[in-house]
């Protein structure tokens, strides 16, 4: 969609809507509103000319059935739709802790950088994967996996992952999100262990080689903060115009 004419008209409209005025005391007013209008125009231009991030909201719950989890992160990977190269975006978001036997709901806002000139995420999202991962009170890592990836009573951490459990635990404790992202993409998603977003998954406790609760993550696209600010500013400008 091409917006050059609309932006030009909008620019003229803002100038038209925000003339200098004087109050009854003769003091010039509405200079602040002109500044607001200029800011709104700048935000609109950024949105229209492309390159704005794709904004997403992830929501769900982390619900271990028995023990508590600390240093809990939602690991995510979004894969681009469309022909040609399918770019990927990996994330790691902290949600604090998760208390056993409770539905620990969360909602996160994140963004994916886009570059239409290079075809990066210009076709939207084809698939999305997640894992909720954290540390048990008595040590050890809990992670949500596909049921087909984990066999209760048989599967161990080392049978699934090349990186030691203690190493991943240290990344969680130190908040090393780049390391967590790389590990998730290479050893969880690429191996076919990561659940799809929108599907409830089992939370695995490797210390007992069994499942200890569930987790769930879904996502939706949301308007960018810039677009919301633009609408809000325009509304404020119109309301202020009416008061004068």
Domain residue ranges of the chain, discontinuous segments joined by +: 4-51+224-243, 54-221
Torsion of CA 171, 176, 182, 187, to 10 degrees: 10
**What span, in angstroms and rounded, lies between the C-alpha atoms of 49 and 71?**
39
Ordered DSSP codes for the chain? ---HHHHHHHHHHHHHH---EE-TTS-EE-HHHHHHHHHHHHHHHHHHTS-PPEEEEEEEEEE-SSS-EEEEEEEEEEEE-SSS---EEEEEEEEEEE-TTS-EEEEEEEEE--BGGGTBS-S-EEEEEEEEEEEETTS-EEEEE-GGG--TTT--HHHH-SS-HHHHHHHHHHT-HHHHHHHIIIIIITTT-SPBTTS-EEEEETTTTEEEEEEEEEEEE---HHHHHHHHHHHHHHHHHHH-
pLDDT in tens, 42-53: 444 444 445 689
Give the pLDDT of residue 159: 94
Give the pLDDT of residue 101: 87
Give the pLDDT of residue 5: 41
Beta bridge partners of 196: 129
Give the pLDDT of residue 56: 96
The answer to whether 145 and 131 have CB atoms below 8 angstroms apart is yes
**What span, in angstroms and rounded, lies between the C-alpha atoms of 184 and 131?**
8
* Distance, C-alpha 2 to centroid of its chain: 28
Give the pLDDT of residue 15: 35
For the chain, which ranges sit under pLDDT 50?
1-32, 34-35, 38-39, 41-49
Give the pLDDT of residue 28: 43
């Amino acid at each position: 969609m091409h917006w050059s004419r609309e932006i030009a008209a909008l620019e003229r409209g803002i100038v038209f809507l925000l003339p200098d005025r004087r109050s009854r005391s003769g003091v010039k007013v509405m200079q602040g509103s002109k500044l607001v209008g200029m800011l709104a125009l700048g935000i609109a231009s950024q949105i229209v000319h492309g390159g704005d991030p794709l904004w997403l909201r992830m929501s769900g719950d982390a619900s271990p059935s028995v023990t508590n989890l600390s240093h809990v992160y939602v690991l995510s990977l979004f894969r681009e739709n469309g022909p040609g190269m399918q770019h990927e975006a990996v994330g790691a978001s902290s949600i604090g802790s998760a208390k056993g036997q409770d539905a620990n709901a969360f909602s996160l806002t994140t963004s994916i950088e886009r570059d239409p000139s290079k075809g990066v995420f210009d076709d939207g999202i084809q698939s999305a994967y997640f894992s909720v991962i954290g540390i048990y009170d008595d040590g050890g890592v809990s992670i949500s996996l596909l049921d087909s990836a984990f066999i209760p009573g048989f599967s161990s951490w080392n049978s699934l992952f090349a990186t030691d459990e203690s190493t991943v635990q240290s990344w969680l404790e130190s908040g090393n999100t780049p390391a967590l992202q790389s590990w998730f993409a290479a050893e969880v998603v690429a191996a076919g262990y990561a659940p799809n977003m929108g599907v409830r998954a089992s939370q695995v406790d490797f210390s007992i080689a069994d499942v200890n609760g569930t987790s769930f993550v879904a996502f939706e696209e949301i308007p960018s903060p810039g677009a919301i600010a633009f609408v809000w500013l325009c509304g404020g400008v119109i309301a202020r115009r009416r008061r004068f």
